Structure formats: structure tokens, C-alpha cells
Structure 1
């Protein structure tokens, strides 16, 4: 019997001037463990004068994880943070009761050709921490645990797995792994996983139980404990998951919560512009009339 419960194809979604590939949420699968939202950005070629500009916008009830393969993003937030995220680094912002941030092309790249490619992920907070104070962490590429195992290169971007722990300050039991192969290899890694699990194919292909899957597909497992697959030559995949929360999470625009009243309050707060401000920023993303996924 197949261990796959669902195959999700990447879908185009707009984030203003850019189209991204949306993986989660999906109609038949709103979350995988605490992961409630995943966008695949790019790869996109940006010419001179063409830049990423996402003005200040708010979040509650989640942590955001930005992980780039190519390019650079300048992150600024209402905590006073101003930091550039580059490939292999992790930006981890915990919104808690409320934070505002912007994402833009850094000044030194705005008048040159450049590329942008990466993942943007939302991880819901446990119910008792949904209203925690906001915080921000930037983890450099050399701080991320990396090792070779069964002929593949592994990187533990966030969470814990394989007896290792990432320095990213997560608030629930989860894992987010990068697996890269140079040759075809069969992996049996279920014993090191827990909770719900899904695998995203960035490039190359994997095969399982006689079926082959390729780029831009998200495979959701029925049981993470029997996660076995053959990873093809020169393939990169991202394996993520963890323990699901007992309560449903509601998503409306940039807000995530187990309590719809908290989302209503956040919407009103943004409409009235009483969220904290991002220093040096004057514009903002207006609240959409229809903000549900």
C-alpha cells in the first residue's frame, strides 16, 4: 500500500508584483504538523530597476522562516531589525501578538541584474504562545547543522531530527531538512521522523513504490515512520513536518490563530494603523477586502 496520502502540485499565487508557487495551505490539506503556509519564490530574473518591494505588513500567531537559494532580501521590522538574508541563511521572525515587517531588494542590488529564488514558510505557534512577545533571529549558513548520510548531503534548517538540533529557536516539535544527492540513493529515514511529514521536490526526481515524482510536487506521507524513497541523481528535496496541534488554525490574510476573535482584532488594528511601525518606512500593504486562502 502506498504511503502517500496526497500529492500537491505547486500553484501560482500573487504576492503583489510577483507570482509565487503556493504549496500550503491546500484545500485537502491545510497544514503539515505546525507548517501552515509555504511559498516557493522564483527562480525569477530581475533586471535593472526591477526589484522586490513588499511594503510593511503585519503578522500574528506564527513564526516566518525565509530560506533563499539565490539572491538577497533586506528584512526590516517593527522590532528595529534591519538585516539582509542571503542564500543558506535563515531569517526566523516570531510574530506572537503582533509584528510588522517589510521585504525589499537591498539598495546595492537595485540597479543591477539579479536573481531571486527561495522558500517562505509560516509555522503556527502553540495555542499558549500565540500572544507571546514578538522576536527575531538571524542564523548564518555555517551555524546550520550539515552532514553526509547514506550518500546524500543533509542540512537541518530548523527543528530537530537525526539526533541533531538546529539553532533556529522553534516553539514546537518540528523538522525542516534539506537533502541533496549527487547519485541515485535509496533512503529509509522514517525512524528519525515524527508526527506528520511531507516532501517537496525542488529539482531532480524521487521514486517510491514504482512511481516517479518531479519538481514542484509536494508529497504528503500517510505515516512518517515508514518514509522510504529513492532520490535521483542531482536532486534536491525538502522534508518537513512535526507534531500537529490539537486545535484548528485559521488563516486570514497574514494572520494565523486558533481564535477567530484574535484575527478580527488584528484586522481592525491594521485598518486603524495601530500596529507598531517599521522605522524608515512610510507606505504599507492595505488590508485586502477578501483575505482568506
Structure 2
């Protein structure tokens, strides 16, 4: 598969496919000198938001990935198949219309595949990444996908499934949609959850149970949920409810209240984002 390398100041960028679909790729950001004697602090999988819709791309994660690489981390800015716009709005009861290639289960499979592909990144770059030092930083819908992905190892252990090649050691969720059922009831972003899942929960209860981080507890992985009460795009309660449920289940989850709007969390220089980077460093000491 083809991949192209681009250099930007003190950061090296390389786009690497992890599957055959045009949306199955990640862009690896490495500090200049990585692999030539300079140790990495760990790897951060950046998972962008956009309510899982096709219109929003991994471009949203580029400023974070650049910043993380400038601070000594490897950053894997992950693209994945998203659901097409317009679904979940025209059918009876919120039934989703046909949606491109993404949505349930393709979006989830892509995130899992993309993270596991980190085990093979050295084949492309010559820079080995420690699979025991990988965390995720996910914004909004990306926070949902990051916490879902962090639960793969525990879910596989409970069900006898195949363990992930690259288990996540922790997650920083930035205004994550961590209570999928509540987000569906609230019909956030014009029924974005029904659009993702291919229909309402009343018609797809088994699928929602598999996709909702609230139903996959405990995951045994630290989750730091960073959220502002001023967020008008993703309600603060989604993070609060998840952290309460996770702690009750025995997980090491923490809620961090911050200031600013939905996008301050992904804007380097903003206090909300600086909090997120500090939490990444806490997960990768």
C-alpha cells in the first residue's frame, strides 16, 4: 500500500493505510529524531469527533497531533469510515437511511483495526512503538470511540473473543459521548446516534448494548473525562454519568471539569486542551 511522508518543522508526518478503503488510514506524527536515539514518551491515538458523520475528517485532529509530537509523543491521528449525512432524519421513528460505508459496525471495526495497526508501524517507518504505552485522546464522538476501544480487552476476556493486538493503557475523553443511550434519547445533533447505529435503540437493542460504553463496564482501564458545563454541543452530564457508573463498577475513572466551549478541548494553547495534554502525560509517565 502506498504512503507518503511529509516533514513539518520539528515533526515528521507520514500517512499510512491500515486497510483498503480510502478512509482506512492514519497519519503518524513523530518528533524529529525519533528512532535515531531519541526515546518517545509513548503513543497517543488521536480520534476525531464530528458526531460520526462523513462531513468531519481527521483534519480536526491535526493541531493536537502536531502539538503532542512537539512534546515528545508519537501521535497516530486516526481516520475511519463515518456515516453519511441525512440518515436518521427522514424515516419513521428516527430510522436511519442508507449511509455510505460507515456506521455500525464498520466505524467500530475501523477504530479497532487502526489502533491494532500500530503493531506494524515499524514496517513502514523503521520506528518501533511500545505497544504497552499506547493511550487514546478522543474528542466528542471520538471520545466515545476511544472509550469503546479501551474496553475491547475486557470484553474479549469476558466473552472468549480475540484480544486486541494493541490494548489501550488509558483514555482522555474530551467532551465524549460516553452515554450513548442518553445521547440517543436527547436526539443530539439531529439524531446522530440513530444515524450511526442504523436505526433507533428500540429496533436495535443488541447493537446499542455493544456500542454504548455505559453497557461495557468495567473495562479496567483509566478514563479521564474532561468536560465543560458550558459545552453546547455535548452535554456535561454524558461524562458525569459515565464516570459515576465506571467508578461504581470498579474502574479508575475521573471527571475533570474545565472551561470553554466544545472546541477549546482540541485547541492547543487553550486551558482545556492543556489539561488534556497533562492528563496524557499522567497516563504515560
Whether the TM-score (by the shorter chain) exceeds 0.5 is no
Q: Which has the higher strand share?
A: 1
Larger Rg: 1
Q: Which has the higher helix share?
A: 2
Higher relative contact order (CA 8 A, sep 6+): 1
